[in-house]
Structure 1
Amino acid sequence: MTQSPLVPRLADPYQPARYPGGAPLDAAGLHVVRRWSYGYTRALAREVVSAGGAGAWFEAQLRPSRITDTAADRTYAWWPSLARRPADLWQRQVSETEFGWRVMADYARWVMMRRMISRRQVLEVMTEFWETLLHVPVNGDHWFTHRVSYGTTVRTHALGTYANLLKACILHPAMGMFLDNAVSTKAKPNENLGRELLELHTVGRGNHTEDDVKDSARILTGYRVDLWRTWAATYTPADHSTGTVRVLGFTHPNTNPDGRAVAEAYLDYLARHPATAQRVCQRLAAKFVSDDPPARLVTRMVRTWQSSGTSIVAVLRTLVASPEFQAARDSKLRDPVEDVLASYRALGVGVAQPRVDDDAALQMLWQSNAIGTMPFSWPRPDGPPIDNRSWGSSSRALASFSMHWSLAGTWWPRSGATYRTPAQWLPRTSLTFAQLVDHLSIQVLGRVSTATLLKACCEVTNYAPSTVINANHPLVKWEFHRLLSTLLDSPAHLSR
C-alpha cells in the first residue's frame, strides 16, 4: 500500500548506527571468504586485506605449500594414536587398551581442529569436499586401521588433479576394506567397489551397465589387505582376474597377472570421462554456488576440466571467477559441523590441547553431533548431503540455537577453552546500543548491521538503540550472551 504524501513518514526506530571503521571486506570479498573458509574471523579479514583482496587471497590459497601452518600442524600430536601403525591399532583394540571407535573420534576431532585454525582454509574445505565424494566412514570395525592414512591421502591430492586423486583413493586399503575390494579375487570377484566407483565416484547412475560393473570389479582384483593379522596392504598377482575387459569404451587385453597398470589406466580413463566431468562439476557447483546451480556454469567448468587434464585448481578458478558464483551470496546453509566451527571462529574461542574429557577440543565433536552429525559419521558410501533441505529442519535450527547460547554464555564447553569477556568486546568506554550492535556485527559476521538485526537485538535484550552502554551496564555484566547468541542465530551466520 502506497503511503499518502499528506501523511508524514515516521523515522525507522531501528535505523542502524555505524561504528567508525566499517567492515574490512566488501560484499564480494566477504562472499569469497565465507564460501572458502570455515567462517569469518578478524584475523582472516586482515589476511585478505594484506593479500590485496579476496581474489589474491584465494589464488594464494591454491598453493598451500607456500603457507606456513604451524599451529594446525601441531595439533596432530594432541592425539598420539593417530600416528600408530594399523597392526598396533588393531592390537590395542583386541586387548581393549583403546578401541577403534575412540581413535576415530579423535581423528574427527583433529580434523575439526585443523578446519578451525588452519591458515590453509581452501585446502581444508576441498579436503572435506573430496572426503565426502570419495566417502569412507569412520564407523567400521576394521577399516579404521587405515582411515587416518586415507584422510592424509585425500589432503595430499585435494588441489591436484582428479585423475591422481581418484587413483590414490580407490586403490587405498581403507577404501578397499570399506567396499570389500580387499577380499576380492579372480575366483570370487566382489562388485561393491567396482559398482560404487561408477555410480558414485565417476560417471554416475544410468551411465553404465551390469557388464560394466562386472569388468570394473575384475580390473580391481589383486589389491589385498591381510585382514585380522598384519593389516598390511599388498598387491597379489595370483588374485588378479586376467582376460579382456571392456568398460564404457575402455578396452584392455589385461593379460598380465600384475594388473596394476590396467587399474591405473582404467581409473585415469574414468576421471577424464565426460560423464565424470559433468557429475563432479555439478557437485562442486552445488556445494559452492547453489543447490541447483546454473547449467551454463557447470558447462564452463566441464570444459575447463577436460582442457586442463582434470586440474582441480583450474576448475575452481573457473567457478570463483564466474558471475553465477558472485550472484549466489548467502544461498548455502551451513551444516552442523560447519556451524560449530564457524561459531568458535566468530567468537574467537581459543581451544587448548585436551587434558580431561570435558575439554573443548573433545566436546566440540559432541556439539556437532547434538545438531545433527559428526565428521565422517555418514554410514553409506554416498557421503553426507550437501544441500540446504537436508540441514534446514526446525529441530536442527533449535539445536543450533542451543549450541550458540552455550558458546555465547561460555557455559559449555568451559574447560580447555578461552573466551573473550563481555568487557573485551566493547570497542571503547561508552557507546550506544545501536553502535555496539554494528561493531559486533562487523566483528562476528564481517558485515555492518541491518535494521532487522538491530531490531532482533533490541527485542532480545529489551534495550533501545539509543541506550548508552559501558562496562558497568547490566548488558555487559549479566546479559551479553543474549546479544552474541542473537548474532549467531541470524541468517547471516547460519548461511555460508
Structure 2
Amino acid sequence: MTAARPYPKTPIPTRATLHALQRFTAGYTPALNRQVVAAGGFARWFERQLTGAYDDRWATQTAAWWPSVDATPEQVWKRHQDGVEELWRADANYQCWSLARRIGSQRQVLETMADFWEHHLHVPAAGEVGPFRASYGRMVRARALGRYADLLQAAVTHPAMAVYLTNANSSKRAPNENLGRELLELHTVGRGQYDEDDVKASARILTGWRIGLWRDWAVSYDPAHHWTGPVTVMGFSHANAAADGRPVVTAYLNYLARHPATARRIATKLARRFVSDAPPAALVSRLASVYLKNDTAIVPVLRALVTSPELAAARNAKVRTPAEDVVATWRALDVRLTAAPRNGDDEIAANQLLWQTASLGLTPFGWQRPDGRPDDAASWSSTSRFLASVDVHYTMAGGWWPRRGAAYRAPASWLPAKKLRFDQLVDHLARNLHGQRSTPLLLRVACEATGCKPREVITRKHRIMRWEMPRLLTVLLDSPTHMTR
C-alpha cells in the first residue's frame, strides 16, 4: 500500500547556502531559509545581517527575563548584598541569556560573532569577576561587528578583564604580569613575537586601574599607581612620562591591534572557527591582508571569508560544541521558550538551558583558562560527549525535559499530509531538521530504529505518531549532519 498523493515538500537551500548558514548561524531552520529567500539569496541576506537590518527585539525582550542582565554592576552588587541574587546566579543568568539569544535571534551573524569574540577575549562567567560579567558580555556584543582595535580597547580596560587577569591590583611598585602577558599571547600577536622584557613593559603600561575588590567594586583610575618611565614592547616605544597613563594604553593597544602578527592571529582564529581545524595558509594570509587594509574592521574580513573557495570546500568539517549542540537542537525541533524565569527558578526552561550545556561538558564561558574554549573537533568528539548529546536529543525530542516554559511541537504536526509513506516522512524531517533531502543511509537507519518499512503508510493513528516519534527524531539529531556544522 502506498500514499495516494505526493506530499508537499518543504523547500530547501542550495548546498552552498546551507553550508554557509551552518557556519554563520546557530543552526538551520525552515524559517531561516525563508528569510534568506525573502532577502534575495544568501549574499544579500548576509549583507543585511552585517548591516543590522534584522529585528533585534528578541535579545531585548529576553534580557528582561533576568534582571541582572541589564543591571549596572552597582545594581548587581547591591542585589548580592541584599540577598536577592548572588553573583554566581547573575553570571548564570548571563549564560542563559546568551543561549536564549542564539535560539531565537533574527540577527544570527551578530550572535555568532559575539560568541566568537567572547571566547577570543575570554573572561569566564564566574563569581570571581564580581558584578561585571554581564556588562562585559553586552560590551563585546555591541562591538562584535565593528573594528577589532575598538573592541580590544574596550575589553582590555573593562573591569571584568581587570579582575579576572588581576590587573585590578597591579601597581607601579608591584606590576602584575597576567594581563600584560595574555594581551600579547592570546589577544593580539601570539607566542614567538615577544620576550619577557616585553611582558614586563606591557604590565607596566597597564598599571593605574583600581577596583574595590569585594568591598564596593568601585572602578577608578589612580595616577599614583601608574608606573612611569620609558617603555618598549616589540616595536612600540613611548616616553610614558605622565602620571595618567591612559593615553599610553590607548596608543599601545592601537599598535597591537594593527600589528601584522595580530592580523595573522585573528585571521587564523576566524578561519579555524568558520572553515576547518587546520585552516589553509593562503586563506589566512588573505584574511590578514583584508584586516590590515581595512584598519581592523571585521565586516570586510567576514565578507572575504564567506566568499572564499576554502569555506565552500570545507563542508561538515566542524564539530558542534556543547552550547552549539543544545541551541541547534532547540532550533531544529522548533521548541519555543514561553516563560521568563522568576527568582532563580531552576525548573523553568530558560534556566535549564544552562544545565543542558553542563550535561554535555561545558557551559557557555565556563572554560576556566584564559585561552578560551577549544575550537577543534578532537576536543568535542569523545564517546562520553556523544552519549550525553544522545540523552539531550532524546529528552527534547520527546518533549520531556525541559518542560516548564517550553512549547514543543505535537508529533502529528510533523506530518505534512494526512497520510504518506515512511520514506517520505523521513525526507520531510530531513528537509526541516537538516535543510537537505534524506539519504539512503538516513532512511536505512530510520527503518532500523523504528521497525518501519520504507513504503509503510504513516497517519496520525500510526504508532510512530502516537508514541514513537521521539525515536525517529533522534535518528536525525544523533546523526553527523546535526552534530557538525
Measured against the shorter chain, the TM-score band is over 0.9
Task: Give SS of 2:237's match.
Answer: strand
Mapped pair 1:402 → 2:388: no
* TM alignment of 1:25-36, pairs within 5 A: 25-36=13-24
Task: Give SS of 2:400's match.
Answer: coil
Structure 1 runs not aligned, ≥5 long: 1-16
Mapped pair 1:277 → 2:266: no
Shift of 1:228: 2.7
Match of 1:189? Answer: 175
Match of 1:123? Answer: 110
Query: CA, structure 1 residues 46+190, in 2 after alignment: closer, same or farther (shift >3 Å)?
Result: same
- 49, 52, 68: which is aligned to 1:81? 68
Mapped pair 1:459 → 2:448: yes
Match of 1:317? Answer: 303
AA in 2 matched with 1:80? P
Mapped pair 1:486 → 2:475: yes
Query: CA, structure 1 residues 18+132, in 2 after alignment: closer, same or farther (shift >3 Å)?
Result: farther
Query: CA, structure 1 residues 75+382, in 2 after alignment: closer, same or farther (shift >3 Å)?
Result: same
Shift of 1:95: 4.8
Task: Indicate conservation of the 8 Å contact 1:24/1:49, yes or no.
Answer: no
Task: Give SS of 1:194's match.
Answer: helix
AA in 2 matched with 1:438? D
- 58, 64, 74: which is aligned to 1:71? 58
Task: Give SS of 2:458's match.
Answer: strand
Report Cα offsets for 1:312-340 as digits up to 9, x if no partner.
11111111110000111111010010000
- 424, 428, 439: which is aligned to 1:450? 439
Match of 2:254? Answer: 268
- 205, 227, 234: which is aligned to 1:248? 234
Task: Indicate conservation of the 8 Å contact 1:19/1:438, yes or no.
Answer: no
- 218, 221, 225: which is aligned to 2:204? 218
* TM alignment of 1:29-428, pairs within 5 A: 29-64=17-52, 66-141=53-128, 143-352=129-338, 353-355=340-342, 356-428=345-417
| RMSD, aligned α-carbons | 1.4
Report Cα offsets for 1:237-273 as digits up to 9, x if no partner.
1111111110010011111111111101100100111
Mapped pair 1:441 → 2:430: yes
Shift of 1:223: 1.6
Shift of 1:86: 2.5
Structure 2 runs not aligned, ≥5 long: none
Report Cα offsets for 1:423-482 as digits up to 9, x if no partner.
111001010000010011001111000001000100000001000001111111111111
AA in 2 matched with 1:472? K
Moved over 6 A (4+): none
Query: CA, structure 1 residues 186+344, in 2 after alignment: closer, same or farther (shift >3 Å)?
Result: same
Task: Indicate conservation of the 8 Å contact 2:172/2:226, yes or no.
Answer: yes
Report Cα offsets for 1:377-428 as digits up to 9, x if no partner.
1111111101110000011010001100000011111111101111111001
Aligned-partner Cα distance in 1 for 2:36–2:341? 31
Aligned-partner Cα distance in 2 for 1:405–1:102? 28
TM-score, with normalisation over the residues of structure 1? Answer: 0.94
Task: Indicate conservation of the 8 Å contact 1:190/1:217, yes or no.
Answer: yes
Aligned-partner Cα distance in 2 for 1:21–1:433? 14
How many residues of Structure 1 are paired with residues of Structure 2 in the alignment?
478
Percent of aligned positions that are identical: 54
AA in 1 matched with 2:411? P
Aligned-partner Cα distance in 1 for 2:243–2:371? 32
Aligned-partner Cα distance in 2 for 1:154–1:88? 20
Task: Give SS of 2:220's match.
Answer: strand
AA in 2 matched with 1:35? R
AA in 2 matched with 1:27? R
Match of 1:14? Answer: none
Task: Indicate conservation of the 8 Å contact 2:8/2:417, yes or no.
Answer: no
Shift of 1:90: 2.8
